[in-house]
């Protein structure tokens, strides 16, 4: 479903991604781990169209999407959830969802129902300003917002970063339930999440994918994986 | 930090001689008085480029310092002493002092903030000479400046003024080149590139920005002082904030950050604003269209293209082996 | 003194009309549009012509003039402003100033340089006790209040308004949800230009009409936007009236100092609250 070949990307003169190649099949949940600065965020941002690649190709469902802007890709079924956990803080939770619903042409009630179905507690917050939500609630709102319009591929950058253990469990549960609805490419530092959810695992270092693990047994070996993070 | 590559013209005397020759040459077809005007504008443009091209800060109010220089020089001659050189020094000092004081605050800002806060001070200065200080400056009408002769120099003679200004321009070029290639100067350029990095390396960027600002103000003051001597008249137009547009254009046309670029831009702008209206009635519209084209197509300025072309020619014909060997980093 | 206050409200209202667009354009596209007051000037000159067409019916002429500005602002946005998205300040300055040069010269070409006197559309006066107020100035103030509430409604009730608010904070996030923000930013730009034209049209009868009128107002508009906060519409409202008051009061005691005082306020604000560009 997603094929990345020889992808190179740079910020100005500084090359961040070197010849990245991998693919993802429909229905799979893949994780990317690696040290800070390895280029994981840049990879997601390049796939989603926020950064133009210097060279290489990105193909999604047999279409070349390299260089497509994020708004176009969203309509094709790709959603990106950024690391910074920014919600539209001046708008209420419901209005946050409304923006997504409007873009996807989905009726608001339907969109809200979808979001509250993955996390019922959000219903009580529908009319609160998103800015007053806690970090965990924001992350859940972000994921929920991204699900409006039934996307096929989610790109999520460090969903559990900075969140409390209980909240992380909530998110883990949500992501597990989503596994059969969408494919996902997730950047994570939290290895237990990886262990629970990953079908495939990519290890990145200094802008390259250094290792690919498709064997669940190997992924279960968290001690061994720790050296990469 | 890599040292910037020196353009072939360099700081050396050959470059200065070429400039001098250039200005002498155009003094014949155009009048000396006009060329003197051009050169004064070039000095001002160079002072502006110090802030813009080297330090990377665009100011919309640099005329404040030129005006201060002009007014202080003029007022000194009018009320205290008619010696032209002393008056010029007073003008420069006043402008530099103002830059010193205002710079303390201004230099903390950047981008649009920097541009507009300079504009604000410029407007305030304009207003000050127009109204509250009217008793001294004679407000809107301005006043005449009649300097006395000093040694062999006669301010009344157009030729003498011409050579004085030319000498100042060459001195300024020399000074600026020395300054900008000194370790301090290279630091200032690195501030333009990435101030945070310079600060992380332990440099007190604030002091260097402040010093550069003072220099730029002082040099603008020099331009103002010469202006007062040349025109023999000072009025608030010398501080008109709207006129900042001209010097910004000049540096952009010529190529910001390259000494000779500012010089070239200054001459080109002077020629455009002085002669274009004669030939093309709708010159402002014409200029606007040209500018749009320049901005969207050519962002290195004329001098940038000259340099690129020169480097290409040099590689091709001087270092003949260079073509295969050269690998771009 | 009362007259000074009314004068302050009038100036404030006009400043508000002009500054809204500037604030929004900066908040959304991060472009400082130095050509912003061109539509202000154009609106006025269109008014001069349409008043002649409609034989003095101010309201019709005003509406037509304001609408006529739409295609022009669309062209400016499409071909210039959009390319300045994310560009450095110098290029933005040159490009938008170039537009002003072209625009002002066109105006001089078509309408000439000499000022056009316009008479007040509503000459009536309102007498309250010992004071007589020109109704026209009260109308201008009333329109400003209406505009304020209109904008509040626009941004809190309509989807477009919510998208703009969201984009002002997190433009990438909005795009990643599938919204084409450039389209909305363009609409915002046109709206801002319309409002500036309205400000010009309303102010013209009580000020002088000459080709460079936009430039003098532009700097004041910048001051309003900086004091109020770029992209902050409520702030713009209060700072427009605040600075309008400052101008009126200063003008009473020190006739030429009004503008300088505004710049002093702006400089003070910039020192304590520098803006990020």
Neighbours of chain A (3+ CB pairs under 8 A): C
Average pLDDT over residues B250-267: 78
Which of B125-139, B310-324, C23-37 is the least confident region? Answer: B310-324
- pLDDT above 90 for A196: no
CB pairs under 8 A between B and C: 113
Q: Name the residue with tokens 């109010």.
A: B61
Domain count, chain C: 1
Element (H, E) at A186: strand A183-187
For the cut 80, the answer to whether the pLDDT of residue B197 exceeds it is no
pLDDT for B15 beyond 80: no
Q: Do A99 and C172 touch (CB under 8 A)?
A: no
DSSP one-letter string for B201-252: TT--HHHHHHHHHHHHHHHHHHHHHHHHHHHSEE-GGGG-GGGHHHHHHHHH
Task: List the one residue out of B55, B19, B63, B105 whose CA is nearest residue B248.
Answer: B63
Phi, psi of A59 (to 5 degrees): -120, 135
Closest A-chain CA to C157: A95
In chain B, residues 170-229 whose CB comes closer than 8 Å to chain C: none
pTM of the full predicted structure?
A: 0.80
pLDDT of residue A84: 87
CB A39 within 8 A of CB A63: no
Q: Does C179 contact A103 at a Cβ distance shorter than 8 Å?
A: yes
User: Within an 8 Å CB–CB cutoff, is residue B140 touching chain C?
Assistant: no
Q: Which of B67-76, B141-150, B307-316 has the lowest mean pLDDT?
A: B307-316
Residue of B nearest to C82 (CA): B296
- The CATH number given to whatever domain includes residue A76 is 3.40.50.300
Indicate whether B274 pLDDT > 50.
yes
Q: A147 pLDDT exceeds 80?
A: yes
B111-114's contacts with Cβ under 8 Å and 24+ in sequence apart are: B111/C89, B111/C275, B111/C276, B111/C277, B112/C32, B112/C89, B112/C275, B112/C277, B113/C270, B113/C274, B113/C275, B113/C276, B113/C277, B114/B57, B114/B58, B114/B59
For C192-249, the pLDDT digits (tens) are: 999 999 999 888 888 888 888 887 788 889 889 888 887 788 899 999 999 999 999 8
pLDDT computed for residue B249 by the predictor: 80
CA nearest to C21, candidates C59, C89, C73: C73
Residue A224 lies in a domain: no
| CA distance, residue C122 to nearest chain B CA (Å) | 34
Task: Write the pLDDT tens digit of every residue in B177-187.
Answer: 888 778 777 77
For residue A229, being part of any structural domain is answered with no
Residue C154 lies in a domain: yes
Closest Cα in chain C, distance from residue B227 (Å): 25
CB distance B112–C95 less than 8 Å? no
Q: What is the pLDDT of residue B322?
A: 40
User: Does the pLDDT value for residue A122 go beyond 80?
Assistant: yes
pLDDT at site C190? 92
Considering the domain boundaries, does residue B58 fall inside one? yes
Q: Does C160 lie at the interface with A, CB-CB under 8 angstroms?
A: no
Nearest CB among C101, C260, C264 relative to B284 is that of C101
Rounded to the nearest angstrom, the minimum Cα separation between A96 and chain C is: 8
The count of domains in chain B is 1
**A102 interfaces chain C, CB cutoff of 8 Å:** yes
Task: Tell me whether residues C169 and A88 touch, CB distance under 8 A.
Answer: yes
d(CA B160, CA A81): 71
Mutation pick from B56, B118, B127 vs chain C, by most beta carbons of C within 10 Å, is B127
Q: Give the model's confidence band at A157: pLDDT under 50 very low, under 70 low, under 90 confident, else very high.
A: very high
Q: What share of chain C is helix, strand, coil (3-state, %, to 5)?
A: 80, 5, 20
CB contact under 8 A, C260 and B123: yes
Confidence of residue B307 (pLDDT cuts 50, 70, 90): low
What's the gap in Å between the CA of C176 and the closest CA on chain A? Answer: 5
Dist. CA A82–CA A9, nearest whole Å: 18
Average pLDDT over residues C171-175: 91
**Is residue B257 scored above 80 in pLDDT?**
no
Residues C173 and C166 sit within 8 Å (Cβ to Cβ): yes
B268-277, C50-59, C119-128, C250-259, range with the lowest pLDDT: C119-128
Residues with Cβ within 8 Å of C122's Cβ and at least 6 positions away in sequence, in order, are C134, C135, C136, C139
Cβ of residue A22 closer than 8 Å to a chain C Cβ: no
Distance CA A66, CA B302 (A): 35
Beta strands, E only, chain B: 143-144, 233-234
Q: pLDDT at position A204, please? A: 87
Calpha distance B14→C265 (Å, rounded)? 50
- The candidate with the shortest Cα–Cα distance to C73, out of C215, C180, C198, C181, is C198
Query: C176 vs A149: CB contact, 8 Å cut-off?
Result: no
Question: Span B92-119, mean pLDDT?
Answer: 88
Residues of C in contact with B128 (CB under 8 A): 260
Reported as a single tens digit per residue, the pLDDT across A12-61 is: 778 888 888 888 888 889 999 888 888 889 999 999 988 888 888 899 88
In a domain, B319, yes or no: no
pLDDT of residue B324: 41
Which tokens in the block code for residue C133? 């107020």
Which of B284-288, C3-7, C136-140 shows the lowest mean pLDDT across its residues?
Answer: B284-288
CA distance A207 to A186: 16
C267: nearest CB among B121, B126, B132: B121
Q: Which residues in chain C are closer than 8 Å to A88, comparing Cβ atoms?
A: 162, 165-166, 169-170, 173-174
Angstroms from C214 CA to nearest CA on chain A: 34
Q: In degrees rounded to 5, what are phi and psi of residue C122?
A: -120, 105
User: Looking at beta carbons, which residues of chain B come within 8 Å of C105?
Assistant: 282, 284-285, 288
Does the distance separating the beta carbons of C102 and B289 come in below 8 Å? yes
Confidence class for position B323, pLDDT limits 50, 70, 90:
very low
Q: Which residues of chain C are within 8 Å of residue B294 when distances are taken between CB atoms?
A: 94
Q: What is the domain extent for residue B170? A: 13-280
Between C19 and B139, where is the model more confident? C19
Into how many domains does chain A fold? 1
Mean pLDDT of chain B: 79
**Residue A157 — φ and ψ, nearest 5°?**
-105, 110
pLDDT of residue B222 exceeding 70, the answer is yes
Gap between the Cα atoms of B131 and B139, Å rounded: 6
Q: Do A86 and C176 touch (CB under 8 A)?
A: no
Could you give the CA distance from residue C174 to residue C164 in angstroms, rounded to a whole number?
A: 9
- Containing structural domain, residue C189: 2-272
Average pLDDT of the segment spanning C245-260: 83
CA distance C184 to chain A (A): 12
CB-based contact, C274 to chain A, within 8 Å: no
Whether C173 and A82 lie within 8 Å, measured CB to CB? yes
**Does residue B19 belong to any structural domain of this protein?**
yes
CA distance B292 to chain C (A): 6
Spell out which residues of chain C touch residue B256, defining contact as CB-CB under 8 Å: 90
CA separation for the pair B225, B90 (Å, rounded):
9
N residues, chain B: 329
Q: Residues of C with CB below 8 A from A107's CB?
A: none
B51 in contact with C, Cβ within 8 Å? no
Distance CA A26, CA A8 (A): 24
B248/C94 Cβ within 8 A? yes
* A75, A90, A148 member nearest C165 (Cβ): A90
Q: Which residues are CB-neighbours of B25 under 8 A, at least 6 positions away?
A: none
What are C128-131's contacts with CB under 8 Å, separation 24+? C131/C2, C131/C3
* Structural domain boundaries enclosing A125: 2-217
What's the pLDDT band for B9 if we cut at 50, 70, 90?
very low
| Chain C partners within 8 Å of A99 (Cβ) | 159, 162-163, 166, 174, 177, 179
Could you tell me the CATH number of the domain that includes residue C219?
Answer: 1.10.3470
* C45-77 confidence digits (pLDDT tens): 988 888 888 877 788 888 888 999 999 999 998
| Measured distance CA(C165)–CA(C232) in Å, rounded | 10
State how far the Cα of C205 lies from the Cα of C113, in Å rounded to an integer. 18
> Does A14 reside within a domain?
yes
Q: Min CA distance, C236 vs chain A (Å)?
A: 18
Per DSSP bridges, beta strands A2-11 and A55-60 are: antiparallel
Would residue C277 count as lying in a domain?
no
Identify the pLDDT of residue A13.
Answer: 75
C76: nearest CA partner in chain B: B292
């Amino acid at each position: 479903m997603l094929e990345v070949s020889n992808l190179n990307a740079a910020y100005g003169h500084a090359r961040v991604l070197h010849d990245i190649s991998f693919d993802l099949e429909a229905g799979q949940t893949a994780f990317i781990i690696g040290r800070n600065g390895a280029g994981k965020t840049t990879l997601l941002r390049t796939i989603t169209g926020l950064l133009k690649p210097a060279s290489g190709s990105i193909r999604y469902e047999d279409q070349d999407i390299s260089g497509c802007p994020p708004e176009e890709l969203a309509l094709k079924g790709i959603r990106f959830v950024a690391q910074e956990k920014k919600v539209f803080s001046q708008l209420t939770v419901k209005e946050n969802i409304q923006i997504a619903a409007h873009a996807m042409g989905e009726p608001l009630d339907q969109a809200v129902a979808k979001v509250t179905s993955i996390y019922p507690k959000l219903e009580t917050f529908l009319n609160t300003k998103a800015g007053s939500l806690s970090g965990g609630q924001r992350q859940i709102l972000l994921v929920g917002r991204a699900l409006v319009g039934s996307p096929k591929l989610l790109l999520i950058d460090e969903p559990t970063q900075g969140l409390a253990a209980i909240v992380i469990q909530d998110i883990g549960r949500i992501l597990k339930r989503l596994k059969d609805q969408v494919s996902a490419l997730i950047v994570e530092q939290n290895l237990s999440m990886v262990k629970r959810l990953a079908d495939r695992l990519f290890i990145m270092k200094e802008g390259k994918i250094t290792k690919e693990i498709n064997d669940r047994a190997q992924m279960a070996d968290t001690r061994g994986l720790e050296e990469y993070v | 930090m890599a040292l910037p590559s020196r353009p072939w013209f360099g700081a050396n005397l050959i470059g200065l001689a070429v400039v001098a020759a250039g200005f002498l040459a155009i003094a014949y077809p155009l009048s000396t008085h006009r060329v003197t005007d051009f050169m004064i504008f070039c000095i001002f443009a160079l002072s502006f480029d110090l802030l813009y091209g080297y330090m990377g800060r665009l100011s919309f109010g640099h005329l404040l310092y030129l005006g201060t220089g002009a007014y202080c020089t003029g007022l000194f001659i009018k009320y205290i002493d008619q010696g032209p050189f002393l008056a010029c020094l007073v003008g420069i000092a006043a402008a530099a002092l103002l830059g010193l004081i205002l710079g303390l605050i201004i230099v903390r800002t950047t981008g649009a903030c920097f541009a507009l806060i300079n504009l604000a001070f410029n407007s305030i200065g304009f207003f000050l000479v127009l109204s509250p200080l009217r008793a001294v400056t004679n407000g809107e009408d301005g006043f005449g400046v009649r300097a006395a002769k000093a040694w062999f120099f006669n301010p009344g003679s157009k030729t003498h003024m011409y050579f004085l200004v030319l000498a100042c321009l060459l001195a300024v070029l020399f000074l600026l080149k020395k300054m900008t290639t000194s370790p301090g100067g290279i630091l200032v350029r690195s501030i333009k590139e990435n101030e945070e990095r310079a600060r992380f390396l332990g440099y007190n960027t604030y002091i260097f920005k402040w010093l550069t600002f003072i220099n730029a103000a002082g040099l603008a003051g020099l331009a103002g002082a010469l202006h007062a001597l040349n025109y023999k008249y000072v009025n608030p137009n010398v501080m008109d904030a709207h006129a900042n547009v001209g010097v910004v254009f000049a540096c952009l046309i010529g190529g910001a950050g390259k000494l000779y670029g500012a010089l070239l831009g200054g001459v080109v702008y002077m020629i455009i604003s002085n002669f274009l209206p004669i030939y093309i009635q709708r010159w402002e519209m014409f200029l606007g269209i040209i500018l749009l084209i320049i901005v969207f197509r050519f962002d290195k300025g004329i001098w940038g293209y000259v340099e690129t072309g020169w480097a290409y020619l040099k590689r091709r014909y001087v270092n003949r082996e260079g073509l295969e060997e050269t690998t771009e980093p | 003194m009362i007259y000074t206050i009314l004068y302050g409200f009038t100036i404030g209202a006009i400043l508000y009309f002009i500054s809204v667009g500037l604030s929004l354009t900066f908040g959304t596209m991060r472009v400082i549009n130095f050509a912003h007051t061109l539509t202000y000037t154009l609106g006025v000159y269109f008014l001069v012509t349409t008043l002649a067409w409609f034989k003095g019916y101010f309201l019709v002429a005003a509406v037509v003039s304001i609408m006529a500005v739409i295609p022009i602002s669309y062209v400016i946005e499409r071909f210039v402003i959009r390319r300045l998205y994310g560009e450095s300040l110098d290029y933005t300055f040159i490009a938008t100033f170039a537009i002003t040069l072209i625009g002002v010269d066109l105006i001089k070409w078509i309408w000439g340089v000499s000022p056009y006197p316009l008479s007040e559309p509503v000459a009536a006066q309102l007498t309250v006790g010992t004071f007589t107020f020109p109704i026209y100035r009260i109308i201008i103030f009333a329109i400003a209040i209406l505009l304020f509430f209109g904008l509040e409604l626009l941004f809190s009730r309509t989807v477009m308004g919510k998208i703009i608010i969201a984009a002002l904070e997190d433009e990438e996030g909005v795009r990643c949800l599938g919204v084409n923000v450039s389209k909305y930013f363009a609409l915002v730009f046109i709206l801002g230009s319309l409002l500036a034209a309205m400000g010009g049209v309303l102010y013209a009868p009580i000020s002088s009409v000459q080709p460079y009128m936009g430039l003098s107002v532009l700097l004041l508009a910048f001051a309003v936007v900086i004091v109020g906060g770029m992209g902050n519409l409520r702030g713009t409202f209060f700072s427009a009236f605040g600075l309008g008051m400052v101008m009126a009061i200063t003008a009473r005691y020190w006739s030429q100092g009004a503008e300088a005082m505004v710049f002093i306020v702006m400089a003070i604000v910039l020192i304590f609250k520098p803006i990020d560009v």
